[in-house]
Structure 1
Amino acid sequence: MKQFSFEKLIVWQKSKKLAVNIYKVTKKFPNEERFGLMSQMRRSSISISSNIAEGSGRNSGKDKARFTEIAFASLMELVNQLIIAYDLEFITKSQYEETRIDIEEIGRMLNALRKSQLNL
């Protein structure tokens, strides 16, 4: 089976893993959050890897970088939602800290990817 270029990117692999983790963590949220914070966190987490993938299909470095910027913005949205989920005691301190570490790493990788795309 053919592997697409974005699938080879470690930042895509890590962001996909983050989305899977967010789905697992939010599974335990209260039912009343089904269409609230749970849904928002899931959408923003999926948006990160999706925008990396979509940007890989663009021709110019500038276009690729724009989708990487959108992925980063979704990552920042997820940070905000994660903080709120922790403040509301929907997630544990260890879940919060482990996810923050993953987010910080992905953020650094997205910034590096964007810089390299602008130099194409």
Structure 2
Amino acid sequence: MGRPDFENLQVYQLAEKLANQVWDLVKGWDYFTKDTIGKQIVRSADSIGANIAEGNGRYNSKDNQRFVKMARGSLYETIHWLRLAHSRQLITDEQVNKIKPIIDELSPKLNAYLNSLN
């Protein structure tokens, strides 16, 4: 069995990079913080790439588009959780500055990928 096509997509690779950076941020938090905001932010960040992968595996343009839209929703949810984490002083300005360029690149690439499926 060959490697899935989605692994070659730059948009997927960015989503995976974001999810791994979010994981690295959260894994050092205390139990309460991990159990509340930590689980939410990890799930939403992981969901971006998972939805890209699942949509790609559908081999149907309309289904794929639907999953890319869910990935975009998960990206926005991740942004929400990152904003809360920052305002609650769980992540530093330096950590935000490390993640922000990935988000700034991923958001338009998700939209471009969605448009390419038409």
Structure 1 residue 20 and structure 2 residue 9: aligned? Answer: no
Counterpart of 1:70 in structure 2 is 70
Shift, 1:61, TM fit: 1.3
Counterpart of 2:11 in structure 1 is 11
Aligned length: 118
Whole-angstrom CA distance in 2 between matches of 1:60 and 1:11: 18
Shift, 1:14, TM fit: 1.2
Percent identity reads: 35
Counterpart of 2:40 in structure 1 is 40
CA contact (8 A) 1:68 1:114 kept: yes
Q: What is the root-mean-square deviation in Å for CA atoms of aligned residues?
A: 1.1
Counterpart amino acid of residue 69 in structure 1: K
What TM-score comes out, normalization by structure 2 length? Answer: 0.94
- Runs of at least 5 residues in structure 2 that lack an aligned partner in the other structure: none
Counterpart of 2:56 in structure 1 is 56
What TM-score comes out, normalization by structure 1 length? Answer: 0.93
CA contact (8 A) 2:27 2:34 kept: no
> Which shows bigger deviation, 5-14 or 94-103?
94-103
